[in-house]
Amino acid sequence: MSETEEATANVTLFEKIGGEAAVSAAVDVFYRKVLEDYRINRFFGNSDMDKQIAKQKAFFTMAFGGPNNYTGTDMRTAHARFVTMGLNDSHFDAVMENFDATLKELNVPADLIAEATAIAESVRADVLGQ
């Protein structure tokens, strides 16, 4: 390992991506895209988006290795009622497309996008009740 690699080995994705400001900006852009996406926006028809955005910021902050202030529900429980509405892999894929497009738009380097995407992918089975 080079000195630079050693120095960055313990840095969390949260820090590498740019900390609170970057996660906050990314979640705002992400939900703008999700709400414009006809494939998935119906699921958010009854949602309080300010609350949802705040929960999602806390969730991704925790999932990316930042401070854990997430007080929301676990992923399986939180999405169970949407599974009964037909939530499936195609919807999850659409969310991931918006996630990827958001990080690209914010010029997040490709290796960090790959790391963030793997984390988001890791909740697929829980979100879909599989």
Whether 14 contacts 66, CB under 8 Å: yes
Amino acid at 118: A
Under the binding rule (CB under 6 A), the answer on residue 31 touching ligand HEM is no
Under the binding rule (CB under 6 A), the answer on residue 26 touching ligand HEM is no
- Nearer residue to ligand HEM within complex by CB, 16 or 56: 56
Choice from 23, 26, 82, 98 touching ligand HEM (CB under 6 A): 82
Under the binding rule (CB under 6 A), the answer on residue 64 touching ligand HEM is no
**Does 79 show up as a binding residue in the annotation?**
yes
Choice from 17, 40, 108, 116 touching ligand HEM (CB under 6 A): 40
Helical residues (DSSP H) of the chain, grouped into ranges: 3-8, 13-17, 19-36, 49-63, 75-83, 89-105, 110-121, 124-127
